[in-house]
Amino acid sequence: AGFAPGVLYYLTLWFPSSYRGRITSMLFLASAFAGLIGAPVSGMILGHMEGAFGIRGWHWLFMLGGLPCIGLGLVVLWQLKDKIEDAGWLTQREQQILAANVARPTSHERGHSLLSAIKTPGFLMLGLVYFLIQVGSYGLNFWAPHLIRTAGTQNPTIIGLLTAVPYICGAAAMIIVGRLSDARGERRRFVIGLMVLATIGFFAAGVFEKQTVLLIVALGIMGAGVVAAIPAFWALPPKLVTGAGAAAGIALINTLGQLGGIVSPVMVGRIKDLTGSTTPALYAIGGMTLLCALLLTFAMPASLREKE
């Protein structure tokens, strides 16, 4: 919750807007690879380290996942520079050129404080859009292993390997969409297309919930849509706000999105308890991702509709 808005704002200080699609995709590509690598590794840890040294498997999972973050935090503190002017690997001329490109204003930049950012037309709508994207994202992250198990696969290692499929598809979609959106200067329409793709995936997962092969295909479509939509979305807020407004505004939008991370698992679990099946919940999430696409299509201000 703290890392994402901080690093997203950090990228706006280092990269011109024409590069933000691919750069944000590279950032979130790490998240996709975390799912790609972490899912099977987590399955192996849960399957083979249960009871090792008297420690439960899921305890091992948390410890082995958390310890590397401590060392990485120290590396970040040592390596990352706050300002372009502090980058020793750039010449003074390179620093000047890069700083000038990053500082180049766009015709709609405004929102130099949190309050002014909130008042900017379309800003709170972006918060709602990100909330709906995260409902879909957490629906995939939390329930993909359960769906695969329900379809007939019981081995934790195999479930982990199959759970990696949507993240592979998401990683590929991230790279493609990031480069295309930068090349065309178009952000909104790519997010719309990805959310429509996610909608198809959620509905297909509901239809084929008992057929493993078709379910995995549906999860791949779902992953390509919802996983790639997150970095594509984060190219939109800097079109509305800058400076302190960008820092605080990105944090606020991220916070609204995390509410989707609360709503989605609870909603799916509740629907499953009431109906005995996750299928109605998949349809509900699919409806919310479709609503997200409709909001992006019809409810965005002119500043977000224009090409860069």
Which amino acid, 54? G
Taking residue 18's Cβ as centre, other Cβ atoms within 10 Å add up to 13
Residue ranges making up the domain that contains 84 = 3-305
Q: Is the pLDDT of residue 35 over 80?
A: no
Name the pTM for this structure.
0.81
Rg over CA atoms, the chain: 20
Cβ pair 170, 224 in contact under 8 A: yes
Give yes or no for residue 215 having a pLDDT over 90.
yes
Q: At 79, which CATH number?
A: 1.20.1250.20
Angle at 261 between CA 194 and CA 151, to 5 degrees: 70
**Mean predicted confidence (pLDDT) in 81-88:** 89
pLDDT of residue 107: 46
Non-local (6+) Cβ contacts of 153 within 8 A are 159, 162, 212
Give 31's pLDDT tier (boundaries 50, 70, 90). Answer: confident
pLDDT tens digits along 123-157: 999 999 999 999 999 999 888 999 999 999 988 87
Q: How many domains does the chain have?
A: 1
What's the confidence (pLDDT) of residue 125? 95
